[in-house]
Structure formats: C-alpha cells, structure tokens
Amino acid sequence: MALPQFRKQLLSVKSRELDDLVEAYALAAEALERLNMQVPQQPDRLAEYRTICASIQAEVLRLLGESNGAARDA
C-alpha cells in the first residue's frame, strides 16, 4: 500500500475490515500495473483503477483515524 508513513500503524492495527481493504488494494494495484503496460493503453480504465486505489487508501486512512480515536478513548 502506498502509505509508507503509516506502515507501523498499519502493522499494529488488527481489523478484518483493514485486512480486506489491504487485499482489495493489492488486487487493484496489480490490475493498474497490468493496464499501464498494455499497448495501446486504455485511459478510461487507467483512470478507473487509479480512482479505485485512491478510494481504498482514503478508506484505510479513515479506519486508521478511527483506530487512533479508539486507542485515545481507552
């Protein structure tokens, strides 16, 4: 996942939802990489998968924020 500044936090949070998002991101990133290598390129599909990857990253950040809030409240 392209969030190196959150690596430690990603490894410490135990969440089925986070695990599912990381798996979904890996699949989407692989598809994006394959699409980037295709000739001719498919700009619409590339944009779609870039959006998917960005959305998954945003959701991961939301979950990490919730995790931090829960830890502070404990």
What does the pLDDT look like over 36-72, one tens digit per residue? 999 999 999 999 999 999 999 999 999 999 887 655 5
- Confidence bin at 73 (pLDDT 50/70/90): very low
- Number of other CB atoms surrounding residue 26 within 10 Å: 12
- Amino acid identity, position 15: S
Residue 66: predicted pLDDT: 87
DSSP H helices in the chain:
7-12, 16-37, 43-73
Residue-averaged pLDDT of the chain:
90
Residue 12 contacts residue 68 (beta carbons within 8 Å): no
Residue 47, class by beta-carbon neighbours within 10 Å (0-12 exposed, 13-18 middle, 19+ buried)?
exposed
